[in-house]
Amino acid sequence: MLTTNTADANAKNGWKDLHLAGTICEGGTAMKVNTGDWRTKIVGWVQGNCKQCMLCAPWCPDSSIPVKDGKRQDFDFMHCKGCGVCFKVCPFKAITWEKEEK
C-alpha cells in the first residue's frame, strides 16, 4: 500500500511503500522542515528601503517571509535557504543577499 500523505510516512514504512519519484502528496510541507541550516548565502531586510509592496512574500518558495496585518515581517531563518529569489524581485533594494559567515 502506497503512503498517501506525509502524516502516514514513518519509520515503519519501507522504501517500497513510498510514492515514486518523491511525489509530494500534500501542500504546505515547507513549514514542516527546517531548511535554514544548510544555506550558504543569507538575505537581509533593509526596513528603511521597504515600501511594503509585498512582491517578495509570494515569490518565496519556503514561506520564509511572514506577513502580519498585511505587512511583511523579518525573515524566518529556520526555513530560509538563501536562494535569493526575494532579492531578485525586490525593486526597492530592501533585501540584501550575501555570503553567510558561519
Q: What is the CATH number of the domain that holds 65?
A: 3.30.70.20
Tell me which residue range forms the domain holding 6.
Answer: 1-27
17 and 40 together in one domain: no
14 and 55 together in one domain: no
22 and 37 together in one domain: no
Which of 99, 93, 102, 101 is closest to 41 using CA atoms? 99
**C-alpha cell of 58?**
509570494
**φ/ψ bin of 21: left (φ > 0), alpha (ψ from -120 to 50), beta (otherwise):** left
Q: The whole model's pTM is what?
A: 0.67
39 and 21 together in one domain: no
| Domain count of the fold of the chain | 2
Please state, in angstroms and rounded to a whole number, the distance separating the CA atoms of residues 3 and 22.
11
Which of 15, 97, 19, 13 is closest to 56 using CA atoms? 97
60 and 81 together in one domain: yes
pLDDT recorded at residue 39: 86
2 and 42 together in one domain: no
Q: What is the pLDDT of residues 68-81, one digit of tens each?
A: 999 999 999 998 99
pLDDT recorded at residue 62: 84
Q: What is the pLDDT of residues 10-59, one digit of tens each?
A: 556 666 666 565 565 666 666 667 777 788 899 999 999 999 999 999 99
Phi, psi of 52 (to 5 degrees): 55, 40
52 and 7 together in one domain: no
